Amino acid sequence: MTMSFFFTELFWGALLILFGISILIKVLLGIDIPIVRIFVALLLIYAGVSLVIGQLPQYSKESILFQKAELKPEKLESMYTVALSSATLDFSAIRLKKPQSVKVNTILGTTKIKLNKSLPTELLVNASFANALLPNHDKISFSGKYRYQIPPDSTETPLLKLEANVVFGNLEIITE
């Protein structure tokens, strides 16, 4: 975990909100909440999510954290991360001239990916404690790996290689 996280508005805002809520609950209800332990637990959860993602979450257009979002990029990035969020990633308008790989990670969230059914695509879906629904309506429930080709009977070399990983969440991939 980088030290720069501890100097952000998110960090200090969350800390002040937790302290304020604990004081209110103590005064109004007489319940003493161990705020330091809760704060340490939240930091451990943050570190765990960071390890699962393989990097520290970044606050950018490719990372969706703690929100609901719809992205329709004009060009593909190499990785998209959806953590503790709900997102729709619309890749249906993407046109590729050369092969490209994209990785989509979903952790404790829901992701819907829209793909162009005429773009030769190879899907690799990895699910762990999660659900995944593929374009042919096959499902992965709980855990598993699945490979799928779009269009299904295509002999063309895939232009898009999409790896979708979902952990403790839901993933739906559809073609348009």
Q: Provide the residue-wise pLDDT of the chain in tens; the chain has 176 residues.
A: 444 555 566 666 777 787 788 888 888 888 887 776 777 777 777 767 766 665 544 444 577 877 888 999 888 898 999 988 899 999 999 888 889 999 999 988 899 999 988 888 999 999 888 899 999 888 888 788 888 888 766 667 768 999 999 988 899 999 98
Question: Cα separation of 99 and 170, whole Å?
Answer: 27
Which value, in Å, is the radius of gyration of the alpha carbons in the chain? 20
- pLDDT score recorded for residue 3: 44
Question: Cα separation of 45 and 27, whole Å?
Answer: 28
Question: Cα separation of 174 and 146, whole Å?
Answer: 15
- pLDDT score recorded for residue 51: 65
DSSP 31: P
